[in-house]
Structure 1
Amino acid sequence: MTQEPAQEGHEAPGTGARDAELGASAAVRAYLGAAYDKVAGFADLLREQGELRGLIGPREVDRLWERHILNSAAVVPFLPQQGLVADVGSGAGLPGVVVAMMLPSVEVYLVEPMERRTTWLQEVVDRFELANVQVKRGRAEEYHDAFEADAVTSRAVANLAKLARMSMPLVRRGGEMVVLKGRNVAQEVPAARKVLRGFKAGEPEILEGTTVERVESTTILRVRRG
């Protein structure tokens, strides 16, 4: 999913300009490397159409890079560099589209049940010629017997217990669930342990995903299927 919970109050004047400056900065260009042009193009498209198409909230338009693009990019170092990665509840393509752009050697499945979102995702795939991406319309549960991924990721989809029930059947044995979560994810672990044990999963790791200076790090939970 893509839309973060709305925060109280209004953004300070100039927030959009600062976010655009961040996106064009040398630090972000260096971090994204060869993927920069495509990721920046995706960010521009999301800024132009995201609110209109119900993909992001109005308060998110002026902080796309910090809150969404770089937040998504932070998961990439924890994903395999080859094989298949599935993004469950892909929404606007966060993190799945960013992952696919940064890891062109990885096959990426964008799993999303809503038609208007899969329409958007396919438009993005076609526009940026993402030959390593397939859009899969449907709920994660509908694909439990369809494929097994080396890693399954997601962003702001569900609590950990529910997410494990959705995602772990898509993970091959020895593969991992690598998800972007909130700061309080440790509180979700006890309630999820029974579900995780059913997949012979190991103890979840809570990791810090960093991108560039002065951008808040991302909390990532990783757990391997036994």
Structure 2
Amino acid sequence: MGDDPAIPALPSTPPEAEHVFGERLDLAEHYVALLATTGIAHGLIGPREGPRLWDRHVLNCAVVRELIPAAGTGQAVIDVGSGAGLPGVVLAIARPDLHVHLVEPLARRTAWLSDTVRELGLSNTTVHTARAESLWGTLSAPWVTARAVTGIVRLAEWTLPLLSVPGQVLALKGSRGRTELAESERALQRLGVVRSDAVTFGDSGDEGTTVLRLVVERLVDLRRFRAAGTTSAGSARRRGDRPRAPRGGKVSDRGGRSGSS
């Protein structure tokens, strides 16, 4: 593969990857190879990200596995705005005891995700071509993950209705995550978040990960959240923002498309 100038050289596997993925390291390496080739070719990963796929993306996302305790095989996780499968596919590889729902509104991305899930043989993964809001009332889980989707308050508006209770949203953020959480605490409480905190893994720079945890203990009023979601979408359009998660196609096959064979 490395002899063909049209195919990028794959980043070498760092020693810590074996600790994270254990006997499933070969799956993680295969996933990185897909990110470095078809992932870049399909525009899901930037062309300059190839050399740092492990550190900046895969291992950076894998930290979320430490925040979800074991609770028997098949515990559900919903990954919103999955894009290239970060962190959802990483979590499905590192934690085969979980069943991960990859929710992504853009069909070209879910086509790539479905192909990737099939090639990796991830039977614990389901791909949904859907907006997060379109799954309210039809899909729920005690854990929702998201990485670099939008601001924490708007993310809460989209994801809290997906939680079974008690449940947590785990939002992967960069170095400003703690500040964003502190600035948003009151707004989050109004949405029903009873506790929130920030957990930082690694250093506080670009390669570190801060996970914002939002805890809810009672089911939310969907009517209230539909109104809040409409307001946020309108505000985003007025500001010229282009949020990822609320756009895209409808749910296919009654809520999802299985990405496994």
Q: Same fold (TM over 0.5)?
A: yes
Check the 8 A contact 2:172/2:210 in 1, yes or no: yes
Is 1:177 aligned to residue 169 of structure 2? yes
* CA distance, structure 2, for counterparts of residue 100 and residue 210 of structure 1: 22
Match of 1:101? 93
| Aligned counterpart in structure 1 of residue 11 of structure 2, from 1, 20, 27 | 20
Residue type at the aligned position of 1:69: V
Match of 2:194? 202
* CA distance, structure 2, for counterparts of residue 189 and residue 219 of structure 1: 11
Q: Which secondary structure state, in structure 1, belongs to the residue aligned with residue 108 of structure 2?
A: helix
Match of 1:89? 81
Match of 1:12? none
Matches within 5 A, 1:36-185: 36-82=25-71, 83-185=75-177
Gaps of 5+ in 2: 1-7, 218-261
Check the 8 A contact 2:173/2:212 in 1, yes or no: yes
Which one has the largest radius of gyration?
A: 2
Check the 8 A contact 1:100/1:106 in 2, yes or no: yes
* CA distance, structure 1, for counterparts of residue 29 and residue 17 of structure 2: 10
Gaps of 5+ in 1: 1-15
Q: TM (normalized to structure 2)? A: 0.73
CA RMSD of aligned residues (A): 2.0
1:160-210, Cα deviation, whole Å (9 max, x unpaired): 011000111111121101110121123322553354324432231110224
| Aligned counterpart in structure 2 of residue 217 of structure 1, from 197, 208, 214 | 208
* CA distance, structure 2, for counterparts of residue 32 and residue 53 of structure 1: 26
Check the 8 A contact 2:175/2:208 in 1, yes or no: no
Q: Tell me the CA shift for residue 105 of structure 1.
A: 1.1
Q: Tell me the CA shift for residue 81 of structure 1.
A: 2.6
Q: Which secondary structure state, in structure 1, belongs to the residue aligned with residue 199 of structure 2?
A: strand
Residue type at the aligned position of 2:209: T
Larger mean CA deviation between 80-89 and 108-117 belongs to 80-89
Q: Tell me the CA shift for residue 121 of structure 1.
A: 0.7
Q: Tell me the CA shift for residue 74 of structure 1.
A: 1.3
Q: TM (normalized to structure 1)? A: 0.84
Q: Tell me the CA shift for residue 125 of structure 1.
A: 1.1
Q: Tell me the CA shift for residue 144 of structure 1.
A: 1.1
Check the 8 A contact 2:174/2:208 in 1, yes or no: no
Identity of aligned residues (%): 37
Check the 8 A contact 1:29/1:36 in 2, yes or no: yes
Residue type at the aligned position of 2:41: L
* CA distance, structure 1, for counterparts of residue 113 and residue 187 of structure 2: 31
Check the 8 A contact 2:77/2:143 in 1, yes or no: yes
Q: Tell me the CA shift for residue 58 of structure 1.
A: 1.4
Residue type at the aligned position of 1:58: P
